[in-house]
Amino acid sequence: MDLINAWKMEDIKIKNKIFRTIILPVVLYGCETWSLTLREERRLRLFEIRALRRIFGPKKDEVTGEWRRLPNEELYDLYSSPNFIHVIKSRRMRRAGHVAFMGEMRGIYRVLVGKPE
């Protein structure tokens, strides 16, 4: 089974696993060093929502029997993991903690504290 056929399957668990193990690491590679603008944050959110809509698909309304598109909040509840922006910010903080722990002689530490002499 190739990746495209797995993505078209009905099984949400497989799609979710593909998203978390393949797509998420590729999209967020090196995000600790990114300086995101609001436009880039918006584009990341749009990509994430599109992928989640692809994973979970539409829901059939129990009362009317019509198919409806899930709102963003419902998608995030179904996904039950932090969104891209939260992951990026937490990785940045982790990296800042590692840099702060480094000695004063390291160049990256001097840049962090504002003394790039």
Select the more confidently predicted residue: 35 or 41. Answer: 41
Select the more confidently predicted residue: 32 or 47. Answer: 47
Three-state DSSP class for residue 60 = strand
CA distance readout (Å), 109 to 31, 40, 97: 19, 27, 10
Give the C-alpha separation, 81 to 28, whole Å: 14
Place of tokens 């937490």: 90
Average pLDDT over residues 11-16: 86
Which of these ranges, 22-26, 100-104, 108-112, has the smallest mean pLDDT?
108-112
pLDDT at residue 96, as a whole number: 76
pLDDT at residue 81, as a whole number: 83
Of the pLDDT bands very low, low, confident and very high (cuts 50, 70, 90), residue 3 is: low
With CA atoms as reference, report the closest residue to 73 among 56, 90, 87: 56
